[in-house]
Amino acid sequence: MNYQRPELRDRLASEYVLGTLHGQARARFEKLRRQDALLDAAVLAWESRLMPLAGSVNSLAPSPELFTRIETRLGFRGKPEKQGWFAWLLKPAVGWVAAGLFVGVATTRLVDTIIPAPQTAQVAQLPASYVGVLSDPQGKAGLLVSSLRHGRTVDIKQLQPVIPPAGQQAVLWGLPKNGSAPIAVGTLPKTPTGSFTLPATSEVLFAEVGQLGVTYEPLGALPTQPSQPWAFIGHCGKFWM
Amino acid sequence: MAESVDQLLARVALGDQAAFRALYAASAGRLLGVAMRLIGDKARAEDALQESFVAIWNQAGKYAAHRAQAMTWMTAIVRNKAIDSLRATPKEMPLTQTNDDGEESSHDVADHNPGPLQSLLERCADERLRHCLGHIEESPRQALLMAFYDGLTHQELAERLATPLGTIKAWVRRGLARLQTCLQGAEA
């Protein structure tokens, strides 16, 4: 079968979502779907169309032990939470970079004092980077931003969901220390962790930047100045001695 | 204020176990109802729900990328797990079966009273979907609803509705195409 024909792809996607494909056809379709983004998109569109039908089915209370079974299956029981240390570390979000740098310096000095030099070298391994922790308007930690000092990639980790309204994108800005207009750096990836490429090296872009901010802007080319209020903003620090 | 299912799933995508617990509390009853409707056996429906929540935890990051409605995304996962279970062990005997001696025996046609399916459609909260399905002729509509709510294949629909397989395939195909045209017209 020629799966490149749009009408065939759409028909197969609709029947897959409805559930009428039999065993082999269903398995074959699932394999194809994993390799084909257009087929996957057709499935998602049909799921949006048909799944509201399921809303009229009567609810049924699960057995009390079912969630315990799920947690056991996922290895949650008896193990620390996936992001436990991270949540703990980030509670006092505002000013965290400063605190982190302070702790880094203090720890290194303490280690210098009590541990002989050869081991100290193994402790201070973090490469020179620009680091930012951005908070939402309520002061809650929102994003971690980091980039190697001479690299051209920015790594992002969401600490809370970053969801631009429909038709908009989340744009990262550098705010120069001298108070001049913010500079658009790039569009954030949609995934909880991800990265994007910079138009120049970090050193060029961030050396004179004191803060980083994110605004939600209309999709399309990067704007020359923010048109919306800050969704996230925070200090940008140089993570080297 | 309680967080919406969308907000909870977005936090699950970041590896938040507390949000996962809250998401389960907010949605497991509805999702188990969906699995139970398809499978018809609570223990097996719970197995399918367990597999679904394992997948929800593991794939929540992928969900965040395509931004479907959380309940739509989770319902689709549950239906897929339930259909897999149903295909592995059908809930009812087929209309005819052949035993080890090659003898063919037949079973009564399963009850397919349209009443309950029609009432499920009438309770559907999505007005556009209800309207568009309502405009499809009765037989194709019946086939679509039986496929969706009972998880039947073309062959099983043909047996239940005592209708040739080719006719069933044409009903399903035409029904889905009309539904799409109607829904897209409503979107325009």
pLDDT tens per residue, range B27-49 = 999 999 999 999 999 999 999 99
Pairwise CA distance, residues B45 & B36, whole Å:
5
What class does CATH assign to B5-88?
mainly alpha
Give bridge partners of residue A176 from the DSSP assignment.
A209
Pairwise CA distance, residues A192 & B65, whole Å:
8
pLDDT tens per residue across span A90-139: 444 444 554 555 555 554 455 544 544 444 444 456 788 899 999 988 88
- Joined tokens for residue A103: 């702790």
- Pick from A52, A58, A81: which is nearest to B17 by CB? A81
Q: What pLDDT is stored for residue B187 in this prediction? A: 56
Mean pLDDT in residue range A189-203: 86
Looking at the complex, does the CB of residue A51 fall below 8 Å from at least one CB of chain B?
Answer: yes
Q: What pLDDT is stored for residue B163 in this prediction? A: 95
Q: What pLDDT is stored for residue B159 in this prediction? A: 93
Q: What pLDDT is stored for residue A197 in this prediction? A: 87
Q: Which of B41, B79, B144 should we substitute to test contact with A (largest number of A Cβ atoms within 10 Å)?
A: B79
Q: What pLDDT is stored for residue A1 in this prediction? A: 55
Least confident of A66-75, A105-114, B18-27: A105-114
Shortest distance between the Cα of B75 and any Cα of chain A, in A, equals 7
> Domain residue spans in chain B?
5-88, 112-187
Least confident of A34-38, A106-110, A153-157, A191-195: A106-110
> Domain residue spans in chain A?
6-56, 86-239
- Please give the single-letter amino acid code of residue A139: G
Pairwise CA distance, residues B127 & B120, whole Å:
13
Mean pLDDT in residue range A23-42: 89
Asked whether the beta carbons of residue B7 and residue A161 sit closer than 8 angstroms, the reply is yes
Mean pLDDT in residue range A10-29: 91
pLDDT tens per residue across span B63-121: 766 667 899 999 999 999 999 998 887 665 444 444 445 555 444 444 445 567 888 88
Q: What pLDDT is stored for residue B1 in this prediction? A: 56
Pairwise CA distance, residues A1 & A19, whole Å:
20
ipTM entry? 0.85
Q: Which residue of B has its CA nearest to A188?
A: B65
Is residue A85's pLDDT more than 50? no
Measured CA angle at A182 (ends A180, A186), to 5 deg? 155
Interface of A with B in 156-215 (CB under 8 A): 158-161, 163, 190-193
- In chain B, pLDDT over 70 holds for what percent of residues? 82
Asked whether the beta carbons of residue A51 and residue B75 sit closer than 8 angstroms, the reply is yes
User: Is there a contact between A216 and A172 (Cβ–Cβ < 8 Å)?
Assistant: no
Least confident of A155-159, B3-7, B93-97, B150-154: B93-97
Q: Which residue of B has its CA nearest to A7?
A: B177
Pairwise CA distance, residues A75 & B160, whole Å:
43
Interface of A with B in 75-94 (CB under 8 A): 76, 81-83
CATH classification code of B112-187: 1.10.10.10
Q: What pLDDT is stored for residue A78 in this prediction? A: 58
- In chain A, pLDDT over 90 holds for what percent of residues? 32
User: Is there a contact between B79 and B45 (Cβ–Cβ < 8 Å)?
Assistant: no
Is residue B168's pLDDT more than 60? yes
